[in-house]
Amino acid sequence: MAESPVARELRADCANCFGLCCVAPAFAASADFAIDKPAGHACPNLRTDFRCGIHTSLREKGFPGCTVFDCFGAGQQISQITFGGRDWRRSPELAKPMFDVFPVMRQLHELLYYLTEALGLVSVDPLRGELAALIAVTSGFAEGSPEEVLAVDLPRHRGEVNDLLLRVSSLVRAGAPGKRLERRGADLIGAKLRGADLRGANLRGAYLIGADLRGADLRMADLIGADCRGAELGGADLSSSIFLIQSQLDSARGDAATKLPPSLTRPAHWGASAARPVAKGRSRARR
């Protein structure tokens, strides 16, 4: 699947954002964040130029959650378009509306990301018109004024988008050979899935935390919303997985042999060693 021009606009551009992800959300001290931070308060690591003061050592400093956060381009949209380049420090009256808009805009951009990916899949010709129409509607919401963005009926719109993405998923996964596993929302924490044939599997929202997926075949598998924290992806084939996003890879562990979709980037913290060969008899996901 080739990356579309729209998809490039739906990636975070921190240089054109006013550090919104470091201010708007609340942080709870945990394995992901070293401190508690209330919503609307700047992280102490945020510099006056809206850059992170510990960006190169976030994991070592106890902030791995920051390394896997993805705003899908909502930060620069709000900073440069919605509020016309005015920032919350020099214009403090904009702080609350800007921070209120951020979570809504992020969800709209996330939906745009998935819809745009779906539109680029060769097997979705029957749904192409519906996808284009929903992209136009979602883009219109995202391009509105702060008041218009906040007025969006987000649960209803997410439901419409999700229904269409489910149909896209069914079309794509129908092209996978053999039996396609239905593991939507499944608890696969720590599951032993090394070498598993998961082609065309429905893993939407599955808990893959710490799962051993080394050498697994995940082509045409639907991974939307799957929690991949700590999952072992060494040597896995994700080359044609659908609805896989960068933050899922960033939260997992892979290596030089992991096959990725062309639109995604191999995380810098992944090891370089390739996974060892697995036995020919492939396992199936536990039921």
What would the pLDDT profile of 128-175 be if each residue is shown by its tens digit?
999 999 999 999 999 999 999 999 999 999 999 999 999 999 999 999
Confidence tier at 271 by pLDDT (50, 70, 90):
confident
Q: Rounded mean pLDDT of the chain?
A: 91
Confidence tier at 3 by pLDDT (50, 70, 90):
very low
Domain boundary among 144, 173, 202: 173
pLDDT at 214: 98
In this predicted model, which residue has the larger pLDDT, 278 or 55? Answer: 55
Same domain for 158 and 184:
no
Confidence tier at 278 by pLDDT (50, 70, 90):
very low
Same domain for 152 and 21:
yes
**Average of per-residue pLDDT across 179-186:** 94
Domain boundary among 151, 173, 195: 173
Give the structural domain span for 242. Answer: 178-287
Confidence tier at 285 by pLDDT (50, 70, 90):
very low
Pick from 11-25, 93-107, 172-186, 258-272: least confident: 258-272
pLDDT at 229: 95
Confidence tier at 1 by pLDDT (50, 70, 90):
very low
Same domain for 39 and 160:
yes
pLDDT at 2: 42
H-helix segments, the chain: 5-9, 64-67, 74-76, 95-119, 128-142, 146-150, 154-173, 246-250
Could you tell me what percent of the chain has a pLDDT over 70? 92
Query: Rounded to whole angstroms, what are the CA distances from 105 to 1, 22, 24, 51, 109?
Result: 26, 15, 12, 21, 6
pLDDT at 275: 40
Confidence tier at 123 by pLDDT (50, 70, 90):
confident
pLDDT at 122: 81
Same domain for 280 and 186:
yes
Same domain for 153 and 189:
no
Confidence tier at 253 by pLDDT (50, 70, 90):
very high
Confidence tier at 183 by pLDDT (50, 70, 90):
very high
pTM of the model: 0.89
Same domain for 194 and 277:
yes
Please tell me the total count of domains within the chain. 2
Same domain for 197 and 55:
no
Same domain for 207 and 136:
no
Same domain for 264 and 227:
yes
CATH code assigned at 261 = 2.160.20.80
Residue 116 has pLDDT above 50, yes or no: yes
Q: Count Cβ atoms within 10 A of the Cβ of residue 137 and give its class: 0-12 exposed, 13-18 middle, 19 or more buried.
A: middle
Domain boundary among 173, 192, 226: 173
Both structure tokens of 242: 């659908």
Closest CA to 205 of 223, 220, 231, 193: 223
Same domain for 126 and 56:
yes
Same domain for 183 and 80:
no
pLDDT at 6: 45
Q: Cβ(271)–Cβ(252) under 8 Å?
A: no
Same domain for 82 and 138:
yes
Tell me phi and psi for residue 112, to 5 degrees: -60, -40
